[in-house]
Structure 1
Amino acid sequence: MISEPELVGEESFAAPQTLGAVSAPGPDGAGVTDDAVTSLGPRGPRPAWLWALGGAVAASAVWAGGLYALGGQDPDLGGYRATDNLCAAAQLKNLQTALGKREVEGMPAQFEHATRDEAHCSVELKPTGYEPEVDEEGNEVTSLPGVHLTYTLHKKTDPGPEFDGTVLARQEAWGADPETAAVTGIGERAHVARGEDGSTITLDVLDGQAELSIAVTGDWDPASGDPATDVTELEGLLVQDMQALMDRLRS
């Protein structure tokens, strides 16, 4: 315990002090003159509660400093890691069963930074027995289902507060007016957006520090220009393939 300092007479803190002759300008803009100079009288002994208050303030400063240090730590990534090939990580077993096999791995792209990692992948699925249409000039007119995947791992900031706004902003930027609904049972939060004509479906998932998206576009009937497959009915398969991808990115 810190005891009150021993006082040796009342003159221990009693040395008179004199303010300087000129100080900062007063309220009317004029400097303080010699007439305003005063002498401070003797200081009395400091009350004991001041010493206790000083200790409490010091302890509070240490506690606050500890909270600040903890707040500066990097967030828990929940086992997620960067990937150098999102196409290889995304097996898409259920979508391939429903829409067609992918004959090539796809087109992966990735970006790594101290604050965030990003990865993208685009693949085409070829239905069994698919034959491209030929136009009047003999040119092949291809129409294949496609899948585009994105994966963002936030390594410094929490993506949670902006997740819903990010999803809606992207959909609006595409110029689409899809039917959007919440999806339960996968990740921390998830949304599915279905195109009105049945040609597109997108699943967006937030899982801790990771944001993932799988967008599926169906094939088209070259003669009519209408969607040949209603991919909005594939939500269940899309959720299963997304969960499998999340598991692989955490392995």
Structure 2
Amino acid sequence: MITEPELAGDFEEIETDEIVGGAKPKTRAKKTWVWALGGAVVASAVWGSAFFAYGWGDGKPDLRGYKLRKNSCESIPLKSVGVAIAKSDYAVAGESNLLKDAALERLRCAIPLGPGYSGSDSWVTRYDVEVTVTLHKGFDPGAEFEARRRVTDRGLLLSPDSVSAVENLGEKAYFLINDEGAELHVLDGGAVISMRLSGYQQFEGDPDKLSSESPPMPDVYIYRAAIISDMSDLIPKLKR
């Protein structure tokens, strides 16, 4: 009686005696196992990268220790901008708005900078700083941050020459400038931090003496270095 052959040990290369169309097919069981092993190694490397980037492979971005509290606006340092514009160090509590959700947390701080400066005909130049911190808990904001690198906080799409990269600040940082103000956006893990400086002219004199033309808007680009410096001071404070 002819019995089925028993399999033992590793698969060996087997040549069949059955000829189809003059060809002698071969099976290569060993190489199949080698390719399977190679695929497993590649998959392990991919998962390892995911573990390193997001932590334990849960798909959630690393928040890098950022913590948002109701009083976070009180500790925002504006030393460089404050000295450059208002001639004093500013770390005052402005208007704050805090959102906490399972998907994200967002803090907005609006800070009036200084009492303003009187010009001619009772026109006053004023400056405001707005800080926004968003912690993305459910997804990595990196791709969206890069796609919106030319978009201001007000939703305006700027020309490429209005945007410049800033080195040594978070993972990525971009400085934006337009007629409405200057903005610095920083990506750091799952956190996106923005600082916006805007200047405007306000008439505070006798309405009967109001002229039809207002003074030109203040140039806020000259405070680029001060904004970057204050952002560098702000990032570690948000992690305490």
- Normalising by structure 1, we get a TM-score of 0.63
1:48 counterpart = 2:48: no
> Equivalent residue for 2:136?
154
> Equivalent residue for 2:196?
215
CA contact (8 A) 1:85 1:119 kept: no
Q: 1:81 aligns with which of 64, 67, 76?
A: 67
The separation in 2 between residues aligned to 1:130 and 1:96, in whole angstroms, is 17
Gap change, CA 1:201 and 1:65, over 3 Å in 2:
closer
Q: 1:94 aligns with which of 80, 105, 108?
A: 80
Q: 1:240 aligns with which of 199, 207, 229?
A: 229
Q: 1:122 aligns with which of 90, 110, 119?
A: 110
The separation in 1 between residues aligned to 2:109 and 2:139, in whole angstroms, is 24
CA contact (8 A) 2:150 2:157 kept: no
CA contact (8 A) 2:74 2:91 kept: no
The separation in 2 between residues aligned to 1:172 and 1:105, in whole angstroms, is 23
AA in 2 matched with 1:98: A
User: Secondary structure at the residue paired with 2:70?
Assistant: coil
Runs of 5+ unmatched residues, structure 1:
1-8, 12-42, 135-140
> Equivalent residue for 1:108?
96
Deviation at 1:186, TM superposition (A): 1.8
CA contact (8 A) 1:200 1:216 kept: yes
Greater share of strand: 2
CA contact (8 A) 2:117 2:126 kept: no
> Equivalent residue for 1:185?
168
Mean Cα deviation higher: 231-240 or 153-162: 153-162
CA contact (8 A) 1:85 1:110 kept: no
Runs of 5+ unmatched residues, structure 2:
12-28, 204-210
Deviation at 1:191, TM superposition (A): 0.8
CA contact (8 A) 2:151 2:157 kept: no
> Equivalent residue for 1:22?
none
- Normalising by structure 2, we get a TM-score of 0.66
Identity %: 26
The separation in 2 between residues aligned to 1:10 and 1:117, in whole angstroms, is 73
User: Secondary structure at the residue paired with 1:145?
Assistant: strand
Q: How big is each residue's C-alpha offset from its partner over 1:98-138, in whole Å with a ceiling of 9 and x where there is no partner?
A: 2237796211111122332211111212246659x87xxxx
AA in 2 matched with 1:225: S
AA in 1 matched with 2:5: G
CA contact (8 A) 1:124 1:147 kept: yes
The separation in 2 between residues aligned to 1:142 and 1:85, in whole angstroms, is 30
Gap change, CA 1:88 and 1:103, over 3 Å in 2:
closer
Gap change, CA 1:65 and 1:72, over 3 Å in 2:
farther
Q: 1:229 aligns with which of 201, 212, 218?
A: 218
Deviation at 1:203, TM superposition (A): 0.7
Which structure's CA Rg is the greater one? 1
Over the residues paired in the alignment, what is the CA RMSD in angstroms?
Answer: 3.9
Mean Cα deviation higher: 69-78 or 236-245: 69-78
Q: How big is each residue's C-alpha offset from its partner over 1:171-213, in whole Å with a ceiling of 9 and x where there is no partner?
A: 6833655711111132221111112x4x511111112222111
> Equivalent residue for 1:250?
239
